[in-house]
Structure 1
């Protein structure tokens, strides 16, 4: 099964979970900007997150349209992080780069086929 299809299935499982922020390569907010805002507020505030439904729709569109994504980062309440991590572990073509917040490296399809 191709990486893109697996990724879409996993993202569907996350949709609607409160307190998840997804950052992609095309985000207006940079990862450092997200981290800085978090430090200032010193807590996860709901307005810190994008509208979840719109955010997932945008992410799905990027994946379906096969636009290049260097990585996708998930920020979340701590209790959600293990669940997010478990969804993406051991999938050929997807590599977890960091775990404090989860950054997924979406590898080239040709590379991922060699890993199967």
Structure 2
């Protein structure tokens, strides 16, 4: 007879259903893509990439496709009760802003967009 392989348990230690990967909700993605579209229209960004892992999701914006991302927006739900699950990272990987809400975390990029358009 065949061997029965147990199906992996998708529930965490607390018994709640755990997602296999972190993703962006529709409102979060709309906000991020709106900012991306405005930066593209200003001629500053040209490409983007999204990464969905088990413990975080990230959106990276590039000036050119061959470079490192100029800005990376990360969502880490495990940090929700500590520093906040949203983080804005620069090209070198340093955290520029961290918070519990997406809008204040995107504020430095929004301000830079105003400077780009104003020139």
**Structure of larger gyration radius:** 2
TM-score band, normalised by shorter chain: under 0.3
**Which structure ranks higher in relative contact order (CA pairs < 8 Å, sequence separation ≥ 6)?**
1
Higher percent of residues as helix: 1
Q: TM-score, normalised by structure 2?
A: 0.23
Q: TM-score, normalised by structure 1?
A: 0.24
